[in-house]
Structure 1
Amino acid sequence: MNEITSSALIELALDLAKSLTSEHRFDRLLDTVRKTIQCDAVALLSYHQDVLKPLALQGLSRDTLGRRFIINEHPRFEQLCLSTIPIRFAADSPLPDPYDGLLIDKEGDLPVHSCMGLPLYFDNKLLGLLTIDSLTPHLFENIPNRTLEMISAIAAATLNTALMIDQLESQAIHSQKVVAELTEEALMRDGGELIGQSNIMQKLKQELDIVAASDFNILIYGETGVGKELVARTLHQKSLRSNGPLVYVNCAALPENLIESELFGHVKGAFTGAEQNRAGKFAIANNGTLFLDEIGELPLAAQSKILRAIQNNEIQPVGQDNVEEVNVRIFAATNRNLQEEVDGNRFRADLYHRLSVYPVRVPALNERYGDVQLLAGYFVGKVGRKLGLNQLKIDSGAVSYLNEYNWPGNVRELEHVISRAALKARARQKNKAIISIEKEDCGSLITTQLQDKLVSPHETQVIQNKIQVNLREATDDFQRALIKNALSEENGNWAATARRLQTDRANLNRVAKRLNIKVIKSVI
């Protein structure tokens, strides 16, 4: 094996200098490694305390980018993170390989092979790892140490430059961002990270970076299951209030008679059952962020009280004479078209304009070209840990099958499909070292192409006619028919109807009132 040449170093330096993005720098780095060292796979991973996050790779399946490797679950990674020098693992090492089943050119468990890892240090701080694998055993044994040292130094400098640029960009919009918030522990605690490299997701992330450091109220809207709560958590993490609380409120689940108490608190004796003072969500979120999910479900009376709190930064707990000052930033989320709600007098126009200072639309999964595979890889890693599987992968046939589906339930539906598929794959492949999710494990998904074949010309015309109907009106008609039918079967009993529809009675009454549904009882 030849040492890395001066011309290769010069070529790499020029490439890195020309590269405008971290992704491009990483690709140029991996290209140089593969030119210098014969290998089948190479990957660059960043280190976040107890997690390794893939940044760039070649020779591994693309869904690997969506995985997050818990270090103490992978003995080879654990050894590398504790080392300060490159480690060449023995060809017959009994330690499980974290890339089992993930190499593009090899299906199933890795045979005896060459595996090497380079810890990347800069200023005595571990930044990440560079891993190199070959299906040819003993291939790395004669590589000069000087070559590995130079590759490590170049890779560490490249990674450090990328991290420094990211940090400077972050500081430009958020002064002195807390580094701990970037760790996997914080991400797991706060609900995960935004996975996706599609153009529309890149634009969304740019929008979040722009608005996060401001103190504007934000309206987050999009279809059910797209990840609006995750967007809210990401905004909070990037905001100047990241050290303060993020308080979640599901407006759709608030009983109508307790909305004011839940939001603004109450004093002891304010009403029956108020046995002690209680702080409301606004007070708990003081100096932090209040996330009002499903804001469109709030009744008009509650909307006016929220408007007052936002306008004056003041709240008045139920039963208390004095007002209290609060400093709260509002994130509101909805899957409704609030402008249409305003036009229909179902939502206050003044509150809508207060909340939508900066509206953020979260795209549907079928708009995110190429992200299904990354998300599948992320969920495969997540469910594999939950099920205690040493290695869980998803094969290319299953990925293609998932890519053809139009995902009406969005990211949430994809996660559920992957979870079910993992259970089926585990049951089907008992005692196997590598469990592979295949197409048959994903269940019956009606793809976009298949739907076109199943719909007759007459049905297509009917669907096109229905598209002209206002979506909100169609939804209301469906809810009205469903509630009326349940009420009829329960002889007008609201409590029984709520149980039948698996919803809170107060919510059912609120929806029925909006839909003008009444039960008239007569005496004969």
Structure 2
Amino acid sequence: MTTNQFAECFIDIVADLSRHLSPENRYQRLLRTFRSTFPCDAAALLRLEGNALIPLATDGLAEEAMGRQFTVADHPRLEGILHSRQPTRFPADTPLPDPYDGLIPLAKGNLHVHDCMGCALYIDDIPWGVITLDALEPGTFDALDIPQLSAFIHLAEATVKAAELIQKLEHQVQHEHQIAREMQANVQQSMVGRSPAIKALKKEITTVAASDLTVLVCGETGVGKELVARALHDQSHRRDSPLIYVNCAALPENLVESELFGHVKGAFTGASEARSGKFELAEGGTLFLDEIGEIPLATQTKLLRVLQSGEIQRVGSDKHLTVDVRVVAATNRDLKAEVSSGRFRADLYHRLSVYPIHVPPLRDRERDILLLCGYFLERNSRRMGLPRARLAPECEDILLAYSWPGNVRELEHCISRALLKARGDRHNGQDSILPIVPEHLDISHDQTEFPHDHLGGGNAVEEAVAVVNKQGLTLKAGIDQFQRHWIQQLLAHNEGNQAQTARQLGMNRSNFYRLLKRLQLH
């Protein structure tokens, strides 16, 4: 690169410092300029959080990489980069495993030899993170201008520092900003995702967390309601006090009151000593009542009194105790319908739903599915003592098309099973990457949100099957042709109305549009 070209790239980054950009966009633009200045096949910006490096932006890596966390001690290359104040390049024949092996989509098969280097970023002489460069061809960085690279790294450090200062200015006081940043880091580890739906959820959590309002968390089974409750607690002024969890559905009906409010000695058979209830244990903190719709009606009355007055009464005692507890409740039921049917008190419902939060189902979180896959692959492979795993490209469409009725919990179980099956299929125990293929996912095509016989689509199905049978295609090609013909028939019937066709097929619109593109019908 000529001096003029380098100067132009330099100016572009400096100009971004004066623009109002989100940290995500700022870091992505930085990496884009980095790759155009120092040609490579992939680059990544990772921030050090505790003992792990967290990707903030990637360019050239598979999308699932953004869902991973790289524990420094487990990745000697990243550790070497982080602990050096000079650019670090690794020999092509180094035995050290590369953290991005298998995560460069352009690569064919596992990568064992390529050019890899990186630079540590220091802010005020404190290690902040790293920038890494990967190339598929050995020798790519032979002619790299190290002075230019060092100058760019200093500018990257300035960009990072400017981004953090801008974030600080958006908060009224330094103390509040620090709390928000720490809590955001904690939540991000659990609530992986960048979709509009998850961003809106995080915004809702931040909005209500600082208050003492009672929150009702609603959503389908497996969406992560407990994570929302923990985020609310961690971002509140009660974070240094206990967060007490109660699964209301698991409480025996005759012991619900004792569990919640406590009892005195001799209150009932088996009460050999006095015991504090969950409200007392949560003093000063947060009480999370999961599956609140399962609380018996008799107990609902006493729970309402606590929410109204802050007073509890142990079973068998005439004494009232005052508690300072913030209540967060969760349910996968329609409590309004429960109220209408007489199974839930209307006054308690209104007390609980002072600030309702809806947790979106996984099918509405778009490509968060791939980030979550990366997160679960990394976490579960470490737990199981397995090598790093990588999703085969053909898995992505299957994962994105499936409706995930069990939501995030089902996805994690699916990935756990896939890891075990992939381990069983390994032919070489020394493979550095464990490939996950569609057969390991245990998701059949009739379980996905692909077209199914619905709303008068029977004739289209028969025609599609006939077309496939005549052509003698492979399984994958046959499925694609089946879907293509079926969708064409329904689009013709709906006069080209894609939104109506997506509804008729029971598909999320964004998933439907992606399917059209993959089938070359877009």
TM-score, normalization: structure 1? Answer: 0.82
- Is contact 1:173-1:209 (8 Å) kept? no
- What does 1:25-64 correspond to in 2, within 5 Å? 25-64=26-65
**For residues 34 and 180 of structure 1, what CA distance do their matches in structure 2 show?**
29
SS for the counterpart of 1:5 is helix
SS for the counterpart of 2:134 is strand
| 1:452 corresponding residue in structure 2 | 452
| 1:96 corresponding residue in structure 2 | 97
| AA partner of residue 437 (structure 2) | E
| 1:474 corresponding residue in structure 2 | none
| AA partner of residue 411 (structure 1) | V
| 1:137 corresponding residue in structure 2 | 138
- What does 1:29-428 correspond to in 2, within 5 Å? 29-167=30-168, 169=170, 175=176, 177-178=178-179, 181-182=182-183, 192-428=189-425
Percent identity among equivalent residues? Answer: 48
- Is contact 1:16-1:28 (8 Å) kept? no
| AA partner of residue 433 (structure 1) | S
| AA partner of residue 353 (structure 2) | S
- Is contact 1:89-1:116 (8 Å) kept? yes
SS for the counterpart of 2:452 is helix
**Taking structure 1 as reference, are residues 333 and 389 closer, same or farther at Cα in structure 2, changes over 3 Å only?**
same
Once the two structures are superposed, residues 22-43 of structure 1 have per-residue CA deviations (whole angstroms, 9 ceiling, x without a partner) of 1211121011111111100000
Once the two structures are superposed, residues 305-354 of structure 1 have per-residue CA deviations (whole angstroms, 9 ceiling, x without a partner) of 11111111111222333222111111100011111111222111111111
**For residues 175 and 270 of structure 2, what CA distance do their matches in structure 1 show?**
44
- Is contact 2:123-2:157 (8 Å) kept? yes
Once the two structures are superposed, residues 450-494 of structure 1 have per-residue CA deviations (whole angstroms, 9 ceiling, x without a partner) of 56148976899xxxxxxxxxxxxxxxxxxxxxxxxxxxxxxxxxx
- Is contact 2:183-2:235 (8 Å) kept? no
**For residues 166 and 18 of structure 1, what CA distance do their matches in structure 2 show?**
13
Once the two structures are superposed, residues 485-522 of structure 1 have per-residue CA deviations (whole angstroms, 9 ceiling, x without a partner) of xxxxxxxxxxxxxxxxxxxxxxxxxxxxxxxxxxxxxx
SS for the counterpart of 1:17 is coil
**Taking structure 1 as reference, are residues 187 and 19 closer, same or farther at Cα in structure 2, changes over 3 Å only?**
closer
- Is contact 2:103-2:390 (8 Å) kept? yes
**For residues 16 and 169 of structure 1, what CA distance do their matches in structure 2 show?**
16
Shift of 1:279: 1.3
Shift of 1:129: 0.9
The CA RMSD over aligned residues, in Å, is 2.4
**For residues 233 and 163 of structure 1, what CA distance do their matches in structure 2 show?**
25
Once the two structures are superposed, residues 203-262 of structure 1 have per-residue CA deviations (whole angstroms, 9 ceiling, x without a partner) of 111111111111111000011111111111111111111111111000011111111110
**Taking structure 1 as reference, are residues 233 and 377 closer, same or farther at Cα in structure 2, changes over 3 Å only?**
same
Structure 2: where are the runs of 5+ without partners? Answer: 461-522
**For residues 181 and 194 of structure 1, what CA distance do their matches in structure 2 show?**
14
* Higher deviation after alignment, 170-179 or 267-276: 170-179
SS for the counterpart of 1:143 is coil
| 1:511 corresponding residue in structure 2 | none
**Taking structure 1 as reference, are residues 404 and 275 closer, same or farther at Cα in structure 2, changes over 3 Å only?**
same
- What does 1:494-513 correspond to in 2, within 5 Å? none
Structure 1: where are the runs of 5+ without partners? Answer: 461-524
- Is contact 1:181-1:237 (8 Å) kept? no
Shift of 1:170: 6.3
**For residues 96 and 169 of structure 1, what CA distance do their matches in structure 2 show?**
41
**For residues 84 and 177 of structure 1, what CA distance do their matches in structure 2 show?**
27
Matched residue count: 456
Shift of 1:62: 0.3
- Is contact 1:108-1:434 (8 Å) kept? no
TM-score, normalization: structure 2? Answer: 0.82
